[in-house]
Structure 1
């Protein structure tokens, strides 16, 4: 099943907020406490934060039958033009493993014409995310910890060589 991949518009903000919340709650249930998830989502997916993402980075939306099923957010590195980061890729749980993530990834790489390396940081216990990145050829660079409010995350930085 192919999705229509397009650039985000302001009208997409409420739907993308819902996709982010649904996906985060599903993925991080039992990994990140609910109140930490909610605080993160409120900060990073507020109306203002979403407008900033749209203005400062590439956000692609995946639609099937006119409904948004996922999105991805890419940032080109300010230090190295050959590098970019996949800041987020969220697919509704019931739509995962249907090729939508791969379509979003391919679209982002094509839009970031000329990049040689794409980085992503994923929570170590996010087995779905790690499995996806591994299947697309990402390799683990390192593991580190970071605080998210009062919760410590163990994160894995991965790279895809283009």
Structure 2
């Protein structure tokens, strides 16, 4: 498995990965219809396409040579604090190192980084366990994960690097 920058030709596969991962993780929490609404909005091809050229950001995938197994998107305004907006691994590849590879790549892309912050849905125990294993700690909570007005409660996690 290797990590590479996402490209225009990857967008359909990335969208399919995000939809599959979201349904696997969140259908039992929010219901399939709500998850479909979210993925249609947050993971539309035009939204993903904008990430390809967003300044001060990295959009990367883990690829096993046959398919994209995982995706991550992060941005920074100052190079010191990274906001990790997405890190998703297809269910059948979870626990095989793809998430760790992407997290390491994100760190390497921003050499001056001192902290990484993210929001994770508070019911997503697998993701929370992954991030805690990587050294992230809870620093707060939000009632609107990912989007103002989403109504999805989340933990705010931070990793201090320096």
Q: TM-score, normalised by structure 1?
A: 0.91
Distance in 1 between residues matched to 2:111 and 2:160, nearest whole Å:
13
Of structures 1 and 2, the one scoring higher in RCO (CA 8 A, sep 6+) is: 1
Counterpart mapping for 1:74-153 below 5 A: 74-76=74-76, 78=77, 80-146=78-144, 152-153=151-152
Superposition deviation, residue 10 in structure 1: 0.2
Superposition deviation, residue 150 in structure 1: 8.3
The 8 Å contact of residues 36 and 151 in structure 1, kept in 2 or not, is answered as no
List alignment gaps of at least 5 residues for structure 1: none
C-alpha spacing 1:132/1:14, structure 2 compared with 1 (3 Å): same
Distance in 2 between residues matched to 1:123 and 1:73, nearest whole Å:
17
Q: Deviations over 1:120-147 (max 9, x none)?
A: 1000000111011001000000122127
Distance in 1 between residues matched to 2:21 and 2:98, nearest whole Å:
14
What is the root-mean-square deviation of aligned Cα atoms in Å? 1.7
Q: TM-score, normalised by structure 2?
A: 0.91
Q: Please identify which structure carries the higher strand content.
A: 1
C-alpha spacing 1:135/1:102, structure 2 compared with 1 (3 Å): same
